[in-house]
């Protein structure tokens, strides 16, 4: 089996025309004709991921985030992107990325299941196909109402994270809920993997009480609070690393003759 056959099967389920206009999903580096025995899956084509793929003797590296977002004028070892491209080529690996096409057709459902949200709908519709709406994120209801603090802990545990940032809670050094937190029960939750800055308005429009996402800055968060929307920032990595295991399992089912390995789960930062 070659890369072209694997790519064609993936693009049947996650067509590139579902990706955002600014995105660069698809074949990044390498030959479509490359024969594939081993596939390595990572969130990003970092030096570490490429090194692990080389050690695994991977023929195909599949990532969520594209290695190439912007045009480049030179490929050499003077830049970190150039060094990554050279390493991929030198070891005859083909690199393919599934970014916002996966966000639209896979990420929302994956995260919805992690939180067990019910009665879900697309949060930010980007496309409608034969009456079926597709888009970024999901909004739905928790199985049982929770206080805001309980919701934050539930998100942390469901996504298997060490911590999350919750805008709207009182001093986190206090273990008990304040009276205001106890009286406000959370039921309707929106979730968007990665950076959710662009879906705040959609979450408010859908009457979500909480938005779970990543990359929320201070001013956006306090403005959202003023508009009645709490934010649980679980991090860009924290809301998307599930892509690795999801794709490892899927590729294993689709291509049983290939060995598939995923990058280890490793937060890119430490809180100190």
| Integer Cα distance of 93 and 96 in angstroms | 10
Angstrom distance (rounded) from CA 91 to CA 260: 18
Q: Residue 175's pLDDT band (boundaries 50, 70, 90)?
A: low
Q: What are residue 84's DSSP bridge partners?
A: none
pLDDT at 177: 66
Q: Identify the CA nearest to 26 among candidates 11, 36, 9.
A: 11
Angle between helices 148-158 and 108-115 (to 10 degrees): 120
Q: Under CATH, which architecture does the 3-98+240-262 domain have?
A: 3-Layer(aba) Sandwich (3.40)
For 233-251, what is the mean pLDDT? 98
Q: Each residue of 114-166: pLDDT tens digit?
A: 999 999 999 999 999 888 999 999 999 999 999 999 999 999 999 999 999 99
Q: Is the pLDDT of residue 272 over 90?
A: no
User: Which residues, 6+ apart, have CB-to-CB distance to 85 below 8 Å?
Assistant: 29, 67, 75
Q: Which candidate, 128, 140, 114, places its Cα nearest to that of 211?
A: 140
Q: Per-domain residue ranges for the chain?
A: 3-98+240-262, 104-233
Q: Kindly compute the dihedral angle of the four CA atoms of residues 221, 226, 232, 235, in this order, to the nearest 10 degrees.
A: -10
Q: How confident is the model at residue 271 (pLDDT cuts 50, 70, 90)?
A: confident
User: What's 105's DSSP letter?
Assistant: I
Task: Give yes or no for residue 268 having a pLDDT over 80.
Answer: yes
pLDDT at 146: 97
Q: Identify the band that residue 102 occupies on the pLDDT scale cut at 50, 70 and 90.
A: very high
Mean pLDDT rounded to a whole number for the chain = 95
pLDDT attached to residue 173: 56
CATH topology of domain 104-233: 3.40.1390
Return the H-helix or E-strand segment holding 272.
none
In this predicted structure, the answer to whether residue 189 has a pLDDT above a threshold of 70 is yes
State the pLDDT at residue 130: 87
Pairing of strands 210-214, 165-167: unpaired
Topology match between the domains 3-98+240-262 and 104-233: yes
Cβ contacts of 230 within 8 Å, gap of 6 or more: 148, 166, 167, 168, 186, 209, 210, 211, 224
Reported as a single tens digit per residue, the pLDDT across 26-80 is 999 999 999 999 999 999 999 999 999 999 999 999 999 999 998 899 999 999 9
| Spatial separation of the C-alpha atoms in residues 110 and 263, rounded to whole Å | 18
Q: Which residues pair with 54 in a beta bridge?
A: none
Residue length, the chain? 272
Bin 215: left if φ > 0, else alpha if -120 < ψ < 50, else beta.
Answer: left
Cα distance between residue 6 and residue 189, in whole Å: 36
What pLDDT is attached to residue 150? 97
């Amino acid at each position: 089996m070659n890369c072209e056959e694997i790519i064609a099967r993936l693009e049947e389920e996650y067509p590139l025309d579902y990706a955002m206009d600014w995105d660069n999903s698809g074949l990044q580096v390498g030959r479509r004709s490359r024969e594939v025995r081993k596939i390595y899956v990572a969130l990003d084509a970092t030096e570490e991921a490429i090194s692990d793929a080389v050690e695994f003797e991977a023929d195909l590296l599949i990532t969520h985030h594209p290695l190439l977002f912007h045009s480049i004028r030179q490929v050499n070892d003077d830049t970190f992107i150039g060094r990554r491209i050279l390493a991929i080529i030198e070891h005859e690996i083909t690199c393919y990325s599934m970014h916002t096409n996966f966000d639209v057709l896979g990420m929302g459902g994956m995260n919805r299941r992690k939180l067990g949200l019910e009665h879900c709908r697309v949060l930010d519709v980007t496309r409608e196909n034969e009456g079926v709406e597709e888009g970024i994120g999901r909004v739905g209801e928790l199985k049982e109402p929770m206080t805001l603090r309980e919701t934050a802990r539930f998100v942390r545990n469901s996504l298997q994270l060490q911590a999350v940032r919750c805008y709207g809670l009182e001093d986190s050094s206090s273990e008990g809920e304040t009276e205001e937190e106890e009286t406000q029960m959370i039921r309707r939750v929106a979730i968007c993997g990665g950076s959710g800055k662009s879906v705040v308005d959609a979450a408010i429009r859908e009457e979500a009480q909480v938005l779970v996402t990543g990359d929320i800055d201070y001013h956006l968060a306090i403005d959202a609070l003023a508009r009645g929307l709490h934010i649980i920032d679980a991090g860009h990595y924290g809301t998307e690393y599930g892509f690795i295991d999801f794709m490892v399992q899927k590729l294993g089912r689709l291509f049983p003759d290939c060995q598939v390995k995923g990058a280890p789960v490793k937060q890119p930062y430490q809180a100190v």
